[in-house]
Structure 1
């Protein structure tokens, strides 16, 4: 599947900055810029290296300035907005931008064609750029690339006094070394600085400007009628690989991912490749992990356990799934899973009630896909400790109440996925018995009964606990007059708010409601919360509904879970819809048709990716992280259900 854009897609500079590309290297590093090649965020970079996987990121090569000169007549083909209000308007020469496995740009300047392609290398902090310059004009063409560097931690910028030193094949600054190779001429220049305006940071109240410096240019002369290549490789390690080799290796890697996943849907096959962009090495655990989202987020326990079934199991990356689950199992403590892994000797953070229960669910889904009884046996003691700790009580107010339901949260601790805290205020307080947590609890108990039977162990206690929880859940959560479930049992007005969390009480492998009530939940969610790009977190008629997401952080946080559309619950909705319609051919065709619109979502924002969120009122533009793991993972599970029935 190839995404192709033309001049109609960048009728203005602003339109050209609406979409971006993303390439990742499996270490937490990445390359990303807009489709016109500009950096509209301080997190954009040709090479965002990760020196300690996956979170110690450094913006090394921020951008490339590119110029075509025809016998003294100069044309900038790069695009960029600067803090002083000036711009490079190379987008006017841009004929086409496309993305399949790599981003490709095609420019036309008075008879000179320039093709540009970028790639990264898996497992190294390396970015490669390959230009093809075809001079069909009657004039001599000089093509010049000026790389601008930062050499600072992600999110920061160089001080004006920071010095960049260049020696043969290497640039050094701020204690870092960046090696480079090119087949063109390198010309040293006096150090120059640029200060950029980041429009996509400014609108969200983030740092709106940033500085980068250059100390050399890379030049190639192309005679009339001649076609030349210019290759450029930047790496944190010394390398002899050429740009063309890195590009070919990247395409081959992506092709293997697609073939292994084995989806017949073109859209699903592309998403399977996108899914792998979130998988990264983690040095502190010597294992693999799943990064929650780009460009902002790191790897979190909750996000990993929600994303893993789609990112790894639906794509048949079973070895990756197994390694991640083993890593989490090793860090289980007091029945909880880490929500944030340790860095620099620090202890993990365990502030999540759902990750541990979803860990049990992931082990079950892994077993369903692979039939590996030995892995169930290996994980069983961890799952036992989780259930025991939830029964007896553990941190953050997590414990089983007398009625068999799970309570969680205390004081300012937000331990469900709706976890925003604004100072001393909780915009979405869910202390008590959250609906999805108790759906996960019942599911985990039934899985433990199943695992006990598989392993020849006694599972009656789990079955008894599940029965007790089911009776309490069905009696206390159901709202007959509204045909849906309460969001939480807390004794506050928040209890009866119509939210998307109830959909997981239908979509999990083991559920508590009868089929008719499940059908009513699905219909209510569709009526009140459904959009083609995700589910609203709160129904529009609620007085606390926020229709737009944006502005400074406090303003964004107040809207984050108060109506904002999230993409990832859409997966649970479609799985629930299929379930209550008995996975019929008609139901599958309905979902298949509704999924077609995802092609437009993959064209907008980060090309080939699904975002974190959209506005709740009218979800037209992606917001938050432009690429979100659980969004991709949960929709892949829907494609898997339709195609394989799993």
Structure 2
């Protein structure tokens, strides 16, 4: 897919609107704008992760670059600053290739090419320069690393001291090693500080400025007519690889990820590469986990179970999927799975109703692809306890009612994915019987009935309960006058019960559906009419008086809009799977979905290049919001790409409830 950008794309300062992301498989990353500037406090050239995946430290926040050529000193780097002139290197940027990534600048007869990479499995980042001096005079490129040595999102003060040595810089008990190729390192006579302006944090009410410090620099010189190859490698480890090894390793891994997925479509290939950023190590469990989103989130149970099928199964990462599922099975408590694994040996937090039910769904999709009966038997006790405890009752008011449906939520608990709480305000109160939770419950029961014979267990009781749940579901949730489903059957009935939200789509798209075919068609029509956009599904009908068209501003304002109309890409995966199911994966259905996916492709050239974001505004989806790269957005759209090429991998049952 074409990720080349030129002067036309970067007219003015447009290059700072987008960013790139390189991840190291530990939770660390390299991410800056397409102009190579820091536009967020959470941007960094090297965001190291010292204990995967959450102990992240902003070591090298950015690099400034000055070119001395033709008697002039010019910026190649770009950066907004508070109280000081901006660096305007974007004026000399003639080409940016986001896939590598690579930048090409030309000024005063000198062409400079910059390539960057991060080493997988290590806190190591490399920058390589090719300096082609076509001028009649010597030129010099000076590169200054601006440092912070603070936890991710933290603030540095002028009291921070940096000890620059020939092979490392130290501060606060941490060492950052560096090696220089084709040039020299120089210590500054005195520490320097600068205050940056973060243009993407300011509109969201986040702190718009941040301090960085410098203690040394790197100088690369080229004689007239000379081409000089130069590089710097930074690492938290003393044994540093060559820059070319880091660059070539990154390129090989990207190709390997796309090859392992085996998808033919350009969108599928790009998303296969994008998914690699989210599957990371977790030191506290010794296994794999999934980062929910960059740059703000770590790993959460609900997000992991939604993202896992696409990010691991659609990409052929069976062992990673097993590792993640095994970790969660080992940490099941009272039928619930962790929604958060805190570090520092703190106990996991169990505050989600859907993660456990989605675990059973992931087990089914894993078995559909691998036929791994032994793993089903290994984690079967966990799956059986989930069903048992959901029936008998567990934390947060989660229990099975007399009609077989699942109730969840009490007090100020928010245990569905629409979980915002502002003090004692619940913007989306869904205590009672949420529609998607009961879709997951029905699906889980059918899966248990299918997998039971593999374990020596009896499956008839699961099927019998599923029959009762399905009948209750259709009777309680279906609104014949509207030809769609209720969003929730509230403990205290209210207008919110019948709001048109995207949650009903999962009643059609899960492998086993409680709906009749005509009911499923009604759901898909309703969602398409009011909630569908090319970028995702709205969380609330625009005709609803509680609809918020824009997500932005201070935290409270953002929270009030988060699930009240804001567009989310990940439910779009469920919508397209529902369309394919209704069309029996025939040529017409595949053509319609493929046509709609074409409208999603431009989203990969906006925000974080080659990634899909967390959210968009609800009124007219435009620039992305929230996390610029979101695991479940990428994972769910990967599932659609895979289903178009390998329908059986979707694991969908062919049956419908009787009319």
Quickly name the TM-score band, shorter chain normalised: over 0.9
Cα offset, 1:27, TM superposition: 0.3
Separation in structure 2 between the aligned mates of residue 518 and residue 586 of structure 1, nearest angstrom: 18
2:204 match: secondary structure: coil
Q: Which residue of 2 aligns with 1:460?
A: 460
Would you identify which runs of 4 or more consecutive aligned residues in structure 1 move more than 6 Å?
none
Separation in structure 2 between the aligned mates of residue 398 and residue 633 of structure 1, nearest angstrom: 28
Separation in structure 2 between the aligned mates of residue 446 and residue 245 of structure 1, nearest angstrom: 49
Q: Which residue of 1 aligns with 2:512?
A: 510
Q: Once superposed, what is the RMSD of the aligned Cα atoms?
A: 0.8
Separation in structure 2 between the aligned mates of residue 416 and residue 169 of structure 1, nearest angstrom: 50
* 1:78-93 matched pairs, under 5 angstroms: 78-84=77-83, 86-93=85-92
Moved more, 351-360 or 240-249: 240-249
Q: Which residue of 1 aligns with 2:73?
A: 74
Aligned equivalent of 2:149, options 148, 151, 154: 151
1:396 match: secondary structure: helix
Separation in structure 2 between the aligned mates of residue 456 and residue 285 of structure 1, nearest angstrom: 30
CA deviations on 1:473-492 (whole Å, 9 max, x unpaired) are 10010011111100000111
* 1:5-154 matched pairs, under 5 angstroms: 5-13=5-13, 15-70=14-69, 72-84=71-83, 86-100=85-99, 102-154=100-152
Q: Which residue of 2 aligns with 1:535?
A: 537
Cα offset, 1:457, TM superposition: 2.1
Q: Which residue of 2 aligns with 1:420?
A: 420
Separation in structure 2 between the aligned mates of residue 494 and residue 622 of structure 1, nearest angstrom: 27
Q: For the Cα contact (< 8 Å) 2:268–2:638, is it kept in 1? A: yes
2:402 match: secondary structure: coil
Separation in structure 2 between the aligned mates of residue 90 and residue 458 of structure 1, nearest angstrom: 68
Q: For the Cα contact (< 8 Å) 2:61–2:146, is it kept in 1? A: yes
CA deviations on 1:190-235 (whole Å, 9 max, x unpaired) are 2100100001111101111000111111101101110001110000
Cα offset, 1:71, TM superposition: 5.1
Q: For the Cα contact (< 8 Å) 1:66–1:144, is it kept in 2? A: yes
TM-score using structure 2 length? 0.97
CA deviations on 1:409-451 (whole Å, 9 max, x unpaired) are 0111000000000111000000000000000000000111111
TM-score using structure 1 length? 0.99
Q: For the Cα contact (< 8 Å) 1:157–1:212, is it kept in 2? A: no
Aligned equivalent of 1:603, options 600, 605, 617: 605
1:200 match: secondary structure: coil
Separation in structure 2 between the aligned mates of residue 412 and residue 33 of structure 1, nearest angstrom: 38
Cα offset, 1:345, TM superposition: 1.6
Q: Is 1:317 equivalent to 2:317 in the alignment?
A: yes
1:297 match: secondary structure: coil
Separation in structure 2 between the aligned mates of residue 613 and residue 240 of structure 1, nearest angstrom: 38
Cα offset, 1:391, TM superposition: 0.2
1:524 match: secondary structure: helix
CA deviations on 1:77-113 (whole Å, 9 max, x unpaired) are 100000115211100000011122x311000011100
CA deviations on 1:358-398 (whole Å, 9 max, x unpaired) are 00000000000001111111111110000000000000000
Cα offset, 1:619, TM superposition: 0.3
1:633 match: secondary structure: helix
1:530 match: secondary structure: coil
Cα offset, 1:239, TM superposition: 2.1
Cα offset, 1:598, TM superposition: 2.0
Q: Which residue of 2 aligns with 1:237?
A: 237
Separation in structure 1 between the aligned mates of residue 352 and residue 265 of structure 2, nearest angstrom: 35
Cα offset, 1:456, TM superposition: 3.6
Q: For the Cα contact (< 8 Å) 2:233–2:240, is it kept in 1? A: no
2:341 match: secondary structure: coil
Q: Which runs of 5+ in 2 are unaligned?
A: 650-659
